[in-house]
Each structure stands twice: as C-alpha cells, then as structure tokens.
Amino acid sequence: MGRLDGWRFCPRCAAPLAAVPGRVDCAACGFVAWANAAPTASALLEDSRGRLLLGRRARAPFLGLWDTPGGFLEEDEHPLAALVREVREETGLEVVPGAYVGCWLDTYDQGGAGRLHTINLYWRVRVSEGQGDPVPADDVAELAWFQRDALPPRRELAFDCVPRALEAWKALSPG
Ligand SMILES: [Zn+2]
C-alpha cells in the first residue's frame, strides 16, 4: 500500500515499468520513481490564554473533523515557509513559527487514487491579540479556540497524527 502501487507504465515514455521494493524503474528511458513519504508542515497555534486553534475540515479525507492548520509542502519549499503559507491560506493569520514539537508518520487516503504515506512536522506558533481573529478559508469550514483541558475527543479529530501531536502539545509547558 503506497504511492507507486498500480503503476504499470512509465509516465515519461509509456514503456512497461519494473516494480522493485521501494521504487519503479523504466528500462527504456531510465526513469526512476521512489516511493517516498510526502512531507507536511502543521501549526499548533496558541493564543495568549494558552488556547489551541483547530480547524474543521471542509473536504475529504476526514470531512467535518478537527485538524491542525497545515498542509503538504510544495516541491521546492522549506517546511517553515510551507507552515507560514498554509496558516495564511487557512486562517488569514501572518505568523512567525516557534519551537519545533516533533514529527509523526501517517497516511493520507486519496480515495480511488490510493494512499500516500506522510511525514508530518509540527511547530508551536504563538498568535498575539493584535493579529485579529482568524478567518476560515481554503479547505477549512470553521475555526475554533480550545482550552488545553477541553480539546475535542479522539473521534472528532482527523488523521492519526493530529491526536498524537495534540498529546505532545499538552505535555509542553504553557507558552
Ligand atoms: Zn520510460
């Protein structure tokens, strides 16, 4: 189960591909594709009262469940630049990333197009009072602040990495 499952022909020259563990090779043109995980960058956004900002997903997978603002890196993009861009796109906030919290592996269901393995990087991000209220946009239907001891239950959280990142965040000292 991975991003190259079902690849049978070279996307460059259309010759049949040879599948070997972890990659596909095209003997005709030399094309190689590696089955790497796709990286994402996400923000644990905190306000001055120690609350955490979560967004309700507006599309599949996990439509309607709570998620941390963030998303996939572009091909040539630094993870911290992706973090700032995704927060801007989903909340309207201009932020400066804080401390790195950790990374968790997960998968991302693409419906009929299979399943990606993902590597999900998380940073703390402080939002100050003067930045105004976040406004949901892009693929976020709703944004809400949650007290540290009143986060949504596991069944209302998207993905596997989000509850794990939230647990790691709760274990940090308020900041
Ligand atoms: Zn080829």
In a shared domain, residues 27 and 44: no
Amino acid 113: pLDDT: 78
1 and 58: one domain? no
Give which of 109, 125, 7, 130 is closest to 65, Cα–Cα: 109
For residue 71, the model assigns a pLDDT of 96
Q: CA dist 119 to 53, 97, 115, 137, Å?
A: 21, 18, 13, 24
Could you tell me if residue 43 is inside a domain? yes
My answer on whether 10 and 77 are in the same domain is no
Q: Which residues of the chain, if any, have pLDDT below 70?
A: 1, 175
Residues around ligand 1, an ion, CB closer than 5 A: 10, 12-13, 15, 26, 28-29, 31
CA of 25 to the centre of ligand 1 (A): 8
Q: From the CA of 16, how far away is ligand 1's center (Å)?
A: 8
Q: Please tell me the distance between residue 147's alpha carbon and the centre of ligand 1 in angstroms.
A: 53
For residue 30, the CA-to-ligand 1 centroid distance in Å is 6
Domain count, the chain: 2
pLDDT at 110: 86
* 175 within domain boundaries: no
For residue 76, report the distance from its CA to the centre of ligand 1, in Å. 24
Q: Where are the alpha helices (DSSP H) in the chain?
A: 79-91, 161-170
- Residues 46 and 12 occupy one common structural domain: no
Q: Kindly give the distance from the C-alpha atom of residue 17 to the centroid of ligand 1, in angstroms, as a whole number.
A: 8
Centre of ligand 1 to C-alpha 72, Å, is: 27
pLDDT at 44: 98
Alpha carbons within 13 A on the beta-carbon side of 7? 25
In a domain, 69, yes or no: yes
Do 68 and 29 share a structural domain? no
109 and 155 share a domain?
yes
Give the type of residue at 114: G
Query: What is the tens place of the pLDDT at every residue in 97-124?
Result: 999 999 999 999 988 777 899 999 999 9
Whether residue 62 is contained in a domain is answered as yes
Same domain? For 27 and 42 the reply is no
Distance (Å, whole) CA 105 – CA 161: 7
If asked whether residues 105 and 159 sit together in one domain, one would say yes
Statement to judge: residues 13 and 82 lie in one domain? no
| Cα 117 to ligand 1 centroid, rounded to whole Å | 24
Structural domain boundaries, residue 13 = 1-35
Neighbour tally for 98: CB within 10 Å: 15
- Both 64 and 127 in one domain: the answer is yes
37 CA from centroid of ligand 1 (Å): 22
Q: What is the distance in A from the centroid of ligand 1 to the CA of 40?
A: 29
Distance 12 CA to ligand 1 centre (A): 5
Q: If we measure between CA atoms, which residue out of 96, 90, 116 comes closest to residue 105?
A: 116
Residue 141 lies in a domain: yes
User: What's 113's domain CATH number?
Assistant: 3.90.79.10
Q: What pLDDT was estimated at residue 1?
A: 61
